[in-house]
Amino acid sequence: MRYAYEQSPSTDNPNKVRPTPETKVPEGVITIPNLWNTVRTLNQVVDVDYNIPGCPPQSNQIAAVIEAVIDILANGKPLPPKGTVLGASEKSCCDECPRERNIKKIKKFIRPYDIVSDPNLCLMEQGIVCVGPATRAGCGAKCVKAGVPCRGCYGLPLNIRDQGAKMVTALASVIDSTDPEEINRIIATIPDPVGTFYRFSLPDSLLRRAQV
């Protein structure tokens, strides 16, 4: 809230006005919902039967889910258990990624635009933070194949409780140091770790919300 309405360079708000539930304007009163200080997942607010992951879900996965539903309805098959994730795999995005992993150790993390990445080598091993190890498969690793690191939009793989915690273990496998101070310096080169690791999963994580 502070950044969006008071500090952002793209915001023209000299009086630092923040949204209120009711605002009087010449045409009447504008009413908006109260803003919560914690973001919630959809299934923390309403009862959800099934989930198709992705931001957005891949079109072929949506088509496959619709075909499966038609088959179920047409042939009297039982529905999947409530809570089933549809249109995705139980594996991780790395399992779909064709890039080579050669256990290269790195000394700092960089942004994708800082280098011309090797199209055949794992982005993480080139120093680009990629959330593929902590993300469910099903998208076909389209972003990663195009040289764009995975953002984590397909959610957690099966049996992973926390996306950020999984990313910590993935980063530990590529950091080339055993010295705590040097490790801290390397980790400090990751811009916005919480926003990077929990872009789509913070409300359902062990953290539940960013600590200020």
The residue whose two tokens read 């809570």 is 83
So what's the pLDDT on residue 172? 87
Write the pLDDT tens digit of every residue in 135-189: 999 999 999 999 999 999 999 998 899 999 999 999 988 888 889 999 999 999 9
pLDDT digits (tens, 9 = 90+) for 10-52: 899 999 988 889 989 999 999 998 888 788 889 889 999 999 9
Query: φ and ψ at 156, to 5 degrees?
Result: -80, 140
Question: Which residues lie below 8 Å from residue 48, measured CB to CB, with a gap of 6+?
Answer: 42, 83
Cα separation, 207 vs 161, whole angstroms? 11
Q: Give me the amino acid identity at 10.
A: S
Read off the pLDDT of residues 73-113 as tens digits, 9 standing for 90 and up.
999 999 899 989 998 988 999 999 999 988 778 888 999 88
Q: Which residues pair with 72 in a beta bridge?
A: none
For 79, the token pair is 């529905």
As a whole number of angstroms, the distance between CA 74 and CA 154 comes to 29
Identify the three-state secondary structure at position 150: coil
pLDDT at 198 over 60: yes
Give me the residues paired with residue 42 across strands: none
